[in-house]
Amino acid sequence: MEEYIEQNDDAPAVEWRFYDLRGYKRAPDGSINHDVDDGKDDDYFAQVRENVERLKDRYDVEMDLDFSKDVDSWNAQQAALYVRQTEGEETFLTFHEAVFEALWQDGRDIGDPEVLAEIAEDVGLAGGEIRDATEDETLEAELRERFKQAQQAGVSGIPTFVYEGHAARGAIPPEQFERLVKGGA
Give me the residue spans of the domains in the chain: 36-64, 66-152, 154-185
Taking residue 55's Cβ as centre, other Cβ atoms within 10 Å add up to: 15
185 residues of the chain, pLDDT tens digit each = 778 888 888 888 877 788 787 777 777 777 777 777 766 667 776 777 777 777 777 777 776 666 455 678 899 999 999 999 999 999 999 999 999 899 888 889 999 999 999 999 999 999 999 999 999 999 999 999 998 888 887 787 778 888 887 888 877 788 888 888 887 55
* Closest among 85, 81, 74 to 17, alpha carbons compared: 81
Contact present, 4 and 12 (Cβ < 8 Å): no
User: What residues have CB less than 8 Å from 12, skipping those under 6 apart?
Assistant: 163, 181
CATH superfamily ID and name for 66-152: putative protein disulfide isomerase domain (1.10.472.60)
Query: 74 with 139: CB under 8 angstroms?
Result: no
* CA separation for the pair 24, 156 (Å, rounded): 11
d(CA 64, CA 67): 6
What is the pLDDT at residue 4?
Answer: 82
- Alpha-carbon distance 116 to 138, whole Å? 19
- C-alpha 171/C-alpha 138 separation (Å) is 32
The single-letter code of the amino acid at 96 is H
pLDDT the model gives residue 67: 47
Q: Does the global pTM surpass 0.75?
A: yes
Q: Looking at residue 68, what is its pLDDT?
A: 53
Tell me the one-letter amino acid at 119: I
